[in-house]
Each structure stands twice: as structure tokens, then as C-alpha cells.
Structure 1
Amino acid sequence: MKDDEISKLVQSHSRALASGDATAFTSIFDQKNAALVRDQARVFANLRKMPLAEKSYQVLRRQGRAQDSFGRGVKFTQDVAFVHRFAGIDLRPVSEWYRWTIEKASANAPLVVTKVQGAPPTISGEVSKTMYFPGPWDIWPDIVVAKAGASLVLARPQDAALARRVAPTVSAAAASDLAFWEKNGDPDAAVPSGFVVALVEGKAQLGKLFRTAKANEAGVSIPMPRWGIGNDTVKIGGTRVVMDTASEFFRNEQGIMEISEHELAHSLVAGLDSAQFALFGRANWITEGFAEYVAGRNRPINGNRRVSEGRAYVAGQLAMPFDGKLPTNALWDFKQMTSVNYLMGHLAMRFIAQKYGERKLVEGVVAAYRAPGDDSEAALFQVLGVTRADFERQWAGYVRAQLA
């Protein structure tokens, strides 16, 4: 078997999707496996509903014996990228990685795909066990696409009514976040004008869309690296926002607005990420604090859902007492402290906005994103022109005053 056989197989699959030829699309799969063919026919139908400006399959890496000098049958796995870009939403094409099991019965037999699963990451230690797999098109029987201004809300058929109800709120959240950026952000920076939001029900589903991981959040913005190499300054091509409709945020309209503004704020600045390897990563209090600030900037802190926890923290009633220090990534999730750490990040951003102004706040956050992850705090403090020690001292006083 030669490399060009694989290339031709993948190219024909791309052409079939682009031209809308369902028969050609499913023809590469094992026709004796009715369930596999049926699943892939559904993937095809779902993908045809997606407003994609670009879509193709590209060859990645291969494992196993892909050729036999004696002309015997071979079986191997081939990783394939589904490269795609949502029109008007993704800054660059992104990719979802599949692992195909391929068999070739004899030297002259065609290649047949006998199994489709998600490909694992190339770097060990990644949180997700798969590379942006599964998409909703892979696992949902059908996809409802609700327009939300320049954004999209994707849902399963049983959530169609909910998707239509949520869409105006997602649209309003996007408009609010983009207005904040337009007023305070760098006009030349690469930011999206719309977002992809998918609705799921429960933590198990939340951890199994565009990733395979354990989920503890109510919502997540998943950054996806752009496809291809080169000296493009944009490293993150787009994001996928997934929200859990079983979470407390979906009990009322204000909660849906809050979680939408929060997750879309993450997505708004994701394209500014340097995406450089970091041991500890960007400081969570900056990342989460910024998203919380953008979502709650027009409401008094007394109305924040986390404020009673914050008061208990300052009063020394939680697992760890408030010591006037910013939360660290290492202890971010320590003993149910996550929620209060979100509040501390939020209060850090409120303090910055009050003392230095919102433009300086955005400039500092952007500097933190553009710096290598471990240098994010130093980059922010440099923009503010303050030492970490001085900042923490002033911020701790502010926190105590706010939560008195």
C-alpha cells in the first residue's frame, strides 16, 4: 500500500462531503457493518447542516503495518483531521482528529475503514483523551441550529425549544461582550464577531463534547488551535462553548445571560493566546477573573451569587483562611475553594478597573494572554506599573472592604 492510496481515500471523502454525495461519503466504510455505515450517514447529514466556510479531511499520522511485501492483507490505524471553519465565527480553520482503523484485504483490494473513533493527543498529560472529538455531529442523532445574531446555538432535537429560547440571550451576551471590547480593547487584535454555543444536559455530557474529560464546570469555552503551521500570529483558530442546561444558571434568564457572558468573554480573547508551552499555565485568577468581571461588570458585587461564600472566606470560616494573597493555580480547586477563587479573581479585576480604568484592565489581561503562560502575572503587573507585593496589599484591603 502506498501513501497516495491513503491520500486519495481522504480526498475522495472530502469531495463527497463538499458535494453533498452521501453515498460516496459512506462508501469508504465497511459495508458489512450496518451500524458503522448508519452512524457515518448520520455524521454526513449533521455536517451538511453546519454553516461551514471550509471543510476537508487531511492525513495525520499512521500506526501499524501498512504494507506487506508478500501481498497479504494489512490492518492499521490512520489519524485523520477534519479541518473546518464556521463562517463568520472561527478566525482560522480548526481541526477535530479521528482515528480510523483501515483494512486492505489483499494487494489489489480497496482500503476499507472498519472503525472510527477519536484520536488521542500527541502530547501525554493533556486533560482531554481525544483531540476535539466528538463533535455534536458525531454523537447526536440530529442537530438543531438556532441563529443567535452572528452566533449559533447547537442543540439536540429534544432541546429545540430551549435552544430557540436561549438564542436571543446568547446574542445579547455576545453583543454586550463585543461592546465592552470595542470600547476598551485593541482595535487591531484578532477577535471573533460570533460564537458557537452547544447545549448539553449534565456533567457527563459536558465532558464529552469537543473533548473527553471529567467536567466539573457549568460551562466551558474550549480553545481550538488553528490548523496548519506558519508564522501566523493567531494560534487559536476558534472556540467551542458548551453549557450545561442542568446547571443553576439555567434556572432563570439572568443566569443564562451571566453564564453566556462569562463563557463568551473567554472565547472573545482566546485568539490572543500565545499558546506557548507553560508548566503551570496562565494564572486562573486572571483568566476566570476577567470572564467574571465582563459578565458581572454592570451589577453591584452584593448581588453576586458567590458573595456569601466570599464573606465566609474573609471571616476565616472556609477550609483556608483569607491571607490577602491572590489564588494560585496549584490550590485553585483545593477543598471546595473553586467558587470563592472565582470571586477573588473577579474582585481583582474590579479593583484594577476602579483604580486604573477598564482600558488598562483589558490591556493588562491581553498582555497576560500574549505572554508565555507562566509569565502571565508579571505581564499584567508590568502593564499596571506595580509590583505584585504592592498590588496584593492594596487588593486585600479592597476585598475586605467589599466583603465586610
Structure 2
Amino acid sequence: MAGRRRVSGSSVVALCLLLVALVACGGRPGADPVRADVQRLLDRRAAAVLAHDAAAYARTGTGTGTGTGFGNLSAIPVADWSYRVSEVDRAGDSATAEVELRYRVEGYDRGAVATARTLRLSRDGTGGQWSVDSERPAEKSGQQPWDQGAVEVVRGARSLVLGVGQSTAALRGYAGLADRAVPAVSDAWDGAWARRVVVVVPRSVEGMAGLLGSPASSYRGIAAVTTGETGGREHAPADRVIVNPDAYGLLGDLGKQVVLTHETTHVATRADTTSATPLWLSEGYADWVGYRDTARGPAQSAPELTRAVLDGGVPGRLPTDDDFGFTADADELARAYESGWLACRMIAAQWGEDRLNAFYRAVGAHDERAGAVEEAMDEVLGTTPEEFTRQWQDYLRTELG
């Protein structure tokens, strides 16, 4: 029939290949070659860090836009180090990459620390290789110690101290305090934990705030904090005790030891501290461990609450989480910590230390805050929140009045 032509088998194959090509061109975009190139570059950079190979690291770019270079981090004993590129914004021979850095300190971290980073890159001419021009914390992310300068590492028997802008002697002092804190915590807390601690000591309170990604004004009166994720054992891979050297330096010998023991307690109990755990319990328990082996009595260790009780101001309730805000009035914040400490001290005195530990774990085992304390008090202590509060108020009058 005129106007018709038979299509052969080979023509069908050719037609299908043509259609595939057209779909590939007009359908889904192919993989971004620049992103793949950047990922390969960062894989080489990570391998250089793990191999402690300064020359190989330099071949990936300087990365010194904020003072971050290989020399700043080379002393840190890392077991894992990797980058994952999430986004690349390219403009000609320049690009900005948003990446996730994951690293693990050898012998101390069960899992990796994850932190968001922003890298600026460039390449020499079309088809040239990309190199890193700068690497810094992503927006709203905290700094890492090496972002603030060269990190000096001091190893204790049970601790690892990472310092920036501190003398070796000062860092050894922190290691000694941490080494004494670890067995003190293990003697009180009967749960499983690594029995090791990483302490980070920046140059100043501004350095502490930079590590935490918050304003320095939030931490001026805070001697130390512990970072880490709550939510169960599988979500508690890597804790850091971060010291504010400005406030910490004002403490006496006993105060310094109590603070390091308090923060180390947070490391030990992290796996059993969840969103169900109120701050009066987690902070009170840490203070209980911190003061447990000292000779200081309640009136000495709880001066603000003592003044309130002597003035007839026995608290009407246990402190709420809001009472522990770093921006709260200093006296109110002190009373919140002292109230939580004395609540835990009362449990240890009246129910025993084993029951205090069991109560802590029972609260954290709940999926949510609602009902967690009430059920744990009933199951472990055989009391109610109302009766517990009345006992605690009587305890304050007896110990502080």
C-alpha cells in the first residue's frame, strides 16, 4: 500500500535507543558531576586526616579560611573521619558546598559526632580539579575545637583533654581532676558506661560559646556544660565536657572537683537520660554525685536555698525545667540546682542509693515526660509526687533550718 513502509527489527531497536536518549535528555536530570567531584575531593581529604598525611591534606586545598588547617586538628586521635556532601551551589569555577562531617575520637566515642560544615571551593580553569578554599561551621552550627586554633591533647589515665590557647600544665590539671571524677562517678552510678571522659578547654568563655553555637552572655557564670544527645543508649555516642575557663578559674580546689565530677556524671548517665527525665532529677543527681564524697553539709553547699528557708520561704514545688535556664536570675538558678540536689540526697538517705539509681533509670525508661515521674515514684519509691514534695519540704526545714 502506498505511503507505508515496513519497519525491520533493527529499526525498532534503533528507535527504542532514540526514545531512551530523548527521555534522558528531557526527563529526570542526570547525576550532578560537580557534586560527585566534590565528594571525591572530600573523600581524599578525609583519608589524609586519618592517615595523618599533611601533604595529602594540602593537595585537597588549604581550608584555612577561618584558621582551620591540618595542623590545628592533627593531634586529635581520630578513628573515623568522613564527609557527606548534601548540596553544592556552583558559580563558574567557584562553588559552595554544604556537608556533614562525622568523626569519632579513638578510644572514647562509641559513635560519631556529626556536625554541619560549609566549604568554599574553586578550580583552575574548565575541567580542572576542585580544591577547598575554606571550611567553617555551617550557619547555626557550633564550632569544633580546631576552628579556634591548634588543639593540644593531654591524655590522662581515664580522660582526654583537648585544649586551645591553654598551657600544657593547665591541661594536665584538668586531666587530673577528670581522672579523679571517673572513679567517683563509677562508685555512685551502677549503670554501664565507658568510664572515660573527653574534656574540651577553649581559650575563654567566648570560645566556649562558639563551641556551643550560642551567645557568650548565656554562659558567663557557668563553669562547664556537657554536650550529648539524650534518648537512649543508641543515641548517646559522644559526650563532651566543655569548660568555661573564665568561671572555672574562680573556683577553689573543691569546687573544681565537684564541677568535673558533676559533668562526668552526665556522661555516665547519658544513656538513661531521656526526654522523660526532668532537669531537677538529672541536675540534682549529678550534684549528688559531685558532693557525695565531700565533707560539706547542706547549708554550706546550698547557700541560696538555705537563706530562703531561714526566711520562711520553703519552695512550694520542685523546680521546673524553666527554672534551670542559663538566662535565669543567678540566685533563682542556684536555688533550682540546690533544690534538685537535696531531693536526690533525700532519696539516697531515706530509700538508699540503689533505689535512687533505680528511680533515675525508671524515669528515663518512659517514652514521654507525662506520667514518668509519677509512675517511677509509685513503682520504685512507693510514694506519690504530692507526698514526696511534702517529705522534701520537711527535709529542707530539717537540713537547712
Where on the TM-score scale, by shorter chain, does this alignment land: which range? 0.7 to 0.9
Among candidates 310, 315, 330, match of residue 315 of structure 1:
310
TM-superposed CA distance for 1:306, in Å, is 4.1
Match of 1:237, SS? Answer: coil
Q: Between Structure 1 and Structure 2, which shows a larger proportion of helix residues?
A: 2
Distance 2:323 2:166 in 1: 39
Higher gyration radius (CA): 2
Most deviating of 263-272 and 211-220: 211-220
In 2, distance between residues paired with 1:60 and 1:388?
A: 49
Looking at both structures, which has the greater relative contact order when contacts are Cα pairs under 8 Å and sequence separation is at least 6?
1
Quote the residue 2:271 is aligned against: 271
Quote the residue 2:391 is aligned against: 394
Q: Give the structure 1 partner of residue 74 of structure 2.
A: 48
Name the aligned partner's letter for residue 393 of structure 2: A
Q: How far apart, CA to CA, are the structure 2 residues paired with 1:160 and 1:304?
A: 37
- The 3-state SS of whatever aligns with 2:160 is strand
- Partner Cα separation in structure 1 for residue 170 and residue 185 of structure 2: 22
Q: What is the letter of the counterpart of residue 353 of structure 1?
A: A
Unpaired runs of 5+ residues, structure 1, are 67-71, 121-128, 227-231
Map of 2:174 onto structure 1: 166
CA distance in 2, matches of 1:362, 1:173: 18
Q: Encode CA deviations 1:120-145: one digit per residue, 9 max, x unaligned.
A: 4xxxxxxxx31xx32222212x3332
Q: 1:330 aligns with which of 322, 332, 340?
A: 322
Alignment-derived partner of residue 41 in structure 2 = 9
1:152 aligned onto 2:149: no
Residue number among 95, 120, 124 corresponding to 1:101 in the alignment: 120
Paired residue secondary structure (1:57)? strand
Structure 2-normalised TM-score? 0.80
Task: For 1:209, give the aligned amino acid.
Answer: L
What residue number does 1:59 align with? Answer: 84
Q: CA deviation at 1:103?
A: 4.2
Deviating above 6 A after TM superposition, structure 1's stretches of 4 or more consecutive aligned residues are: none
| Whole-Å separation in 2 of the counterparts to 1:50 and 1:78 | 25
Q: Is the CA contact (8 Å cut-off) linking 2:310 and 2:400 kept in structure 1?
A: no
Change (3 A) 1:233 1:347: closer
Deviations 1:140-199 (A, max 9, x none): 2x3332222121122235421111233222201111112222xxx24xx4x122011122
SS at match of 1:344: helix
Distance 1:366 1:201, change over 3 A: farther
Distance of 2:277 and 2:58 partners within structure 1: 43
Segment of structure 1 superposing worse, 323-332 or 389-398 = 323-332
Distance 1:341 1:83, change over 3 A: same
Equivalent position to 2:224, from 192, 201, 219:
219
Give the Å deviation of 1:378: 3.5
Aligned partners of 2:39 and 2:84 also within 8 Å: yes
TM-score by length of 1: 0.80
- Give CA-to-partner distance per residue, 1:70-119, whole Å, 9 cap, x none: xx716553232332222222222222321113345765232233332212
Contact 1:306/1:340, CA 8 A, preserved across alignment: no
Structure 2's unaligned 5+ residue stretches are 1-31
Residues 20, 205 of structure 1: CA spacing in aligned structure 2 closer, same or farther, 3 A cutoff? Answer: closer
User: 2:385 matched to 1:381?
Assistant: no
Counterpart Cα distance in 2 of 1:210 and 1:335: 21
3-state SS, counterpart of residue 383 of structure 2: coil
Are the structure 2 counterparts of residues 156 and 114 from structure 1 closer, same or farther at C-alpha, using a change threshold of 3 Å? closer
Q: CA deviation at 1:206?
A: 2.1
Distance 1:386 1:168, change over 3 A: same
- The SS at the match of 1:271 is helix
More displaced 10-residue stretch of structure 1: 286-295 or 168-177: 168-177
Cα 1:74–1:387 change in 2 (3 A) is: farther
Aligned to 1:126: none
What code does the residue aligned with 2:40 have?
K
Q: Mapping of 1:5-404 within 5 angstroms?
A: 5-29=37-61, 36=65, 39-41=67-69, 44-52=70-78, 54-62=79-87, 64=89, 66=90, 73=92, 75-103=94-122, 108-120=127-139, 129-130=140-141, 133-140=142-149, 142-181=150-189, 185-186=190-191, 189=192, 191-213=193-215, 214-216=218-220, 217-224=222-229, 233-247=233-247, 250-274=250-274, 282-300=277-295, 302=297, 305-316=300-311, 321-333=313-325, 334-336=328-330, 337-372=332-367, 374-375=369-370, 376-378=372-374, 380-382=376-378, 383-404=380-401
Distance 1:291 1:105 in 2: 55
Aligned residues between the structures? 361
Change (3 A) 1:224 1:99: farther
CA RMSD of aligned residues (A): 2.8
Aligned mates of 2:271, 2:110 — CA distance in 1: 8
The verdict on how the C-alpha distance between 1:329 and 1:157 changes in structure 2, with shifts beyond 3 A counting, is closer
Amino acid at match of 2:84: V
Note the C-alpha offset of 1:393: 1.1
Quote how far apart the aligned CAs of 1:9 are: 1.4
Shift in Å at residue 288 of structure 1?
0.7
Shift of the alpha carbon at 1:386? 2.0
Deviation at 1:371, TM superposition (A): 2.9
Pairwise CA distance, 1:201:
4.9
Distance 1:215-1:167 versus aligned 2 partners, 3 A rule: same
C-alpha contact 1:26 1:40 (8 A) present in aligned 2: no
